[in-house]
């Protein structure tokens, strides 16, 4: 029998951060991933910034989450001797005069001092982007190269802990009050980091989801000329050799496991609304974001099977949410520190019926 402290199911952005934080306090993990089938992380652009553009205000816990995430990934870059986090300024192309005015006002406020710049980047002049209502920049922004990060963490887990490729069905996991057993492995906890599939997993099926499918395009353009992260309803990023990522759609209704023409035309329509340039679409991908109704993460131990836990609900901001709350969850598991009530699974205990959900 192999003994570890925690079995982690899924090695996306969530499972990776949890493995790193458990290692930090000396715990041993087994991570099992089914080969990133249906993984949202591998499709993610990896961008982060602190704003909700529509209302032009700070998003939930934005500065705190970003500051934590930047330190988390930077420290890991040193440990793993790989580079996957890059700070980039984000250029926002305004869609109305009101937005332009609002930006000018906000950028004078103390709270936005190190966040907003009320002027366009120099490169915009030489690009095909026509910022009719002007543009501004976000200083506190960047991009995690997600696949590079996941690959680096996966290699590190393989060397220092244990990594297996395969699918964990919770029906195959024996659970009692103090431990779990799966195949030849015994652990104190089994934590689900299985992305959008969490509500299909008994005994967590009492939770509700509000999944959103997202699609992205990769285009080639010789004359678009975007040099950093650009947000104009869609986010555009140059990946080199005239290639650009254009993302993303948000569709809560069509969760089909396929790319769609509808999403491709939505993305291109938004992009073409800011300028005329030549392009060819070279790739399209989709992913399902693990989103729950209140759009906050869902973290904690099962109400009656306390060796089973969940670390999920990263929604559209997994890059910055996962590191901060992985540390909080680990402190909760091993030092009894209470979870933030806004993310704790306890807020949904009203949906749990032991008669129905314990099998
Ligand atoms: C188009 C698109 C663009 C996005 N852009 C951004 C962005 O720019 N910035 C940002 O922060 N977020 C972005 N997101 C959101 C981001 O992708 C998610 O927040 C994040 O990836 C969720 O990570 P996760 O680890 O919870 O889930 P996932 O990435 O889905 O990982 C779950 C893993 O578990 C595995 N798995 C599932 N079930 C099992 C099982 N039973 N046994 C074994 N393995 C299992 C899966 O194969 C997968 O590898 C985007 C999402 C989409 C769709």
Taken in order of first residue, the domains within the chain and their CATH numbers are: 2-43+147-205+293-357 (3.50.50.60), 89-140+212-289 (3.30.9.10)
- Residue among 15, 31, 41 to mutate when testing ligand 1 (max atoms within 8 A of CB): 41
Distance of CA 120 from the midpoint of ligand 1 (Å): 33
Q: How far is the CA of 12 from the centre of ligand 1 (A)?
A: 5
**Mean pLDDT along residues 135-159:** 98
Among 13, 38, 40, 43, the mutation site with the greatest number of ligand 1 atoms within 8 A of its Cβ is 40
Nearest alpha carbon to residue 40 among 317, 328, 233: 317
**Contact assessment for residue 210 and residue 252, using Cβ atoms and an 8 Å cutoff:** yes
This prediction has a pTM of: 0.97
Residue nearest atom 38 in ligand 1 by C-alpha distance: 194
The per-residue pLDDT for 200 is 77
| Separation of alpha carbons 265 and 71, rounded Å | 38
Q: What is the pLDDT of residue 279?
A: 96
The residue to which tokens 């969760």 are assigned? 255
Name all residues whose Cβ lies below 6 A of ligand 1: 9-15, 32-34, 36-41, 43-48, 167-168, 193-197, 214-216, 247-248, 287, 289-290, 312, 314-319
Nearest CA to ligand 1 atom 23: 13
Q: What pLDDT, in 10s, does the model give residues 292-340?
A: 999 999 999 999 999 999 999 999 999 999 999 999 999 999 999 999 9
Q: Which residues 6+ apart lie within 8 Å of 217 measured at CB?
A: 245, 246, 247, 264, 267, 268, 281, 283, 284
Closest residue by CA, ligand 1 atom 18? 318
Q: What's the CA-to-centroid distance between 151 and ligand 1, angstroms?
A: 14
What is the pLDDT, as a whole number, of residue 198?
Answer: 81
Please check whether residue 245 is in contact with residue 45, taking contact to mean a CB–CB distance below 8 angstroms: yes
- 4-56 pLDDT, tens digit per residue, is 999 999 999 999 999 999 999 999 999 999 999 889 999 999 999 999 998 89
Residues 185-216 have pLDDT tens digits of 999 999 999 999 887 778 898 998 899 999 99
- % pLDDT > 90, the chain: 91
Q: Give the pLDDT mean for 281-302.
A: 96
Pairing of strands 229-231, 90-93: parallel
Residue 270, strand partner residues: none
Confidence of residue 351 (pLDDT cuts 50, 70, 90): confident
pLDDT, residue 356, reads 76
Are the C-beta atoms of 339 and 328 separated by less than 8 Å?
yes
Among 225, 229, 218, CA closest to 87: 229
Taking the centre of ligand 1 as the mean of its atom positions, its distance from the CA of residue 9, in whole angstroms, is 12
Report pLDDT for 352. Answer: 87
Percent of the chain at pLDDT > 70 equals: 99
Mean pLDDT of 246-253: 96
Contacts of 160 (CB under 8 A, 6+ apart): 23
- Rounded distance, CA 307 to CA 341, Å? 20
Tokens in use for 157?
């887990």
The Å distance, Cα 297 to ligand 1 centre, comes to 13
Closest CA to 270 of 219, 210, 212: 219
| Residues contacting 169, CB < 8 A, separation 6+ | none
Contacts of 210 (CB under 8 A, 6+ apart): 252, 291, 292, 293, 295
Q: Is pLDDT above 70 for 359? A: no
Digit-coded pLDDT (tens) for 93-110: 999 999 999 999 999 999
Which atom of ligand 1 is nearest the CA belonging to 213?
53
Give alpha helix (H) positions in the chain: 13-24, 62-80, 97-106, 146-160, 261-272, 318-335, 354-357
Q: Which atom of ligand 1 is nearest to the CA of 315?
A: 19
Sequential DSSP letters for 96-120: SHHHHHHHHHHTTSGGGTTTEESS-
3 φ/ψ angles, rounded to the nearest 5 degrees: -110, 130
Report the candidate in 184, 237, 284 with the shortest Cα–Cα distance to residue 46: 237
Residue nearest to ligand 1 atom 51, measured at CA: 44
Q: Give the pLDDT band of residue 92 (cuts 50, 70, 90).
A: very high
């Amino acid at each position: 029998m192999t003994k570890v402290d925690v079995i982690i199911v899924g090695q996306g952005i969530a499972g990776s951060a949890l493995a790193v934080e458990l290692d930090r306090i000396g715990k041993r993990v087994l991570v099992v991933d089914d080969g990133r089938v249906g993984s949202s992380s591998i499709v993610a652009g990896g961008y982060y910034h602190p704003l909700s553009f529509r209302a032009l205000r700070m998003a939930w816990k934005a500065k705190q989450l970003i500051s934590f995430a930047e330190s988390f990934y930077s420290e890991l870059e040193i440990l793993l001797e790989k580079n996957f986090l890059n700070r980039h300024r984000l250029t926002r192309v305004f869609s109305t005069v009101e937005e332009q005015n609002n930006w000018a006002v906000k950028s004078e406020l103390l709270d936005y001092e190190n966040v907003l710049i009320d002027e366009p980047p120099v490169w915009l002049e030489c690009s095909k982007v026509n910022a009719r209502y002007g543009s501004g920049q976000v200083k506190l922004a960047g991009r995690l190269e997600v696949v590079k990060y996941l690959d680096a963490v996966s290699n590190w887990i393989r060397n220092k802990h244990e990594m297996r490729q395969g699918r964990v069905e919770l029906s195959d996991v024996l659970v009692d009050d103090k431990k779990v057993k799966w195949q030849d492995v015994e652990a104190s906890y089994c934590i689900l980091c299985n992305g959008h599939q969490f509500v299909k997993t008994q005994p967590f099926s009492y939770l509700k989801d509000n999944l959103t499918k997202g699609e992205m395009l990769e285009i080639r353009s010789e004359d678009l000329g975007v040099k950093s992260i650009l947000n104009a309803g869609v986010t555009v990023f140059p990946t080199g050799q005239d290639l650009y990522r254009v993302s993303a759609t948000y569709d809560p209704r069509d969760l089909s496991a396929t790319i769609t023409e509808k999403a491709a035309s939505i993305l291109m329509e938004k992009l073409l609304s800011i300028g005329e340039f030549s392009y060819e679409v070279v790739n399209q991908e989709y992913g399902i974001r693990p989103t729950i109704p209140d759009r906050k993460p869902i973290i904690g131990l099962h109400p009656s099977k306390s060796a089973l836990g969940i670390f999920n609900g990263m929604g559209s901001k997994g890059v910055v949410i996962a590191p901060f709350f992985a540390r909080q969850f680990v402190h909760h598991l091993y030092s009894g520190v209470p979870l933030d009530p806004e993310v704790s699974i306890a807020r949904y205990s009203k949906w749990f019926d032991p008669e129905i959900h314990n099998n």
